[in-house]
Amino acid sequence: MRIRAAQPADVPVIADLIRQLAKFEKLEKEVVLTEELLVIGLFGPHPYAETVIAEEDGQPIGFALFFHTFSTFLARPGIYLEDLFVLAEHRGRGVGRALLAHLAHLAVERGCGRLEWAVLNWNQEAIRFYERLGARPNSEWTVYRLAGEALGSLGRE
């Protein structure tokens, strides 16, 4: 298995993996991405996120999409893992662990103070996996989101 940084030519693969993740999470109806939007967001003049791809025998078997955050309390950057996904037939073989280890290495290399992510409450298998790695839930915080019309309405004020 090899983990490598995604390149613009990987956008169709990334889009496919995102769609498969959405299906797994039962959120297919929320996916409105286009490959053109991914090109701009990941490889445009101001890349907003990065992606690494796990491959076996040259074939993609998983990915992680992440971006930098900043902690005012630490006065250091962090990495936020937006998506981690491994194809079903490759789960349980260390691919997810290798992707997270790769991100942890990047975080240390880049002087980050933390690596964070969210997990759906029903995904107990993922929660057990993360806790085996030493990750702990941050139960004192509740995530809020503005999207769609609520975001547009506030943004027009």
Helix (H, G, I), strand (E, B) or coil at 133: coil
CATH of the domain at 31: 3.40.630.30
Render pLDDT for 7-36 as a digit per residue (tens, 0 to 9).
999 999 999 999 999 999 999 999 999 999
How many Å apart are CA 106 and CA 10, to the nearest integer?
Answer: 20
What is the model's pLDDT at position 8?
98
pLDDT of residue 54: 98
Q: What is the pLDDT of residue 20?
A: 96
Catalytic residues: 130
Is the per-residue pLDDT at 140 higher than 90? no
Q: Which of 79, 49, 64 lies closest to 4, judged by CA?
A: 64
Cα-atom radius of gyration of the chain, to the nearest Å? 16
- Give the pLDDT of residue 142: 85
Closest to 66 (Cα-Cα) out of 46, 52, 77: 52
Give yes or no for residue 63 having a pLDDT over 90: yes
Rounded to whole angstroms, the Cα distance separating 113 from 46 reads: 23
* Number of domains composing the chain: 1
With a pLDDT cut of 90, the percent of the chain lying above it is 92
145 pLDDT higher than 90: no
Query: In the predicted model, is pLDDT for residue 143 greater than 90?
Result: no
pTM metric for this prediction = 0.92
Confidence at residue 139, expressed as pLDDT on a 0 to 100 scale: 85
- Which residues constitute the domain of residue 87? 2-155
Q: Give me the percent of the chain exceeding a pLDDT of 70.
A: 100
**106 or 146: which carries more pLDDT confidence?**
106
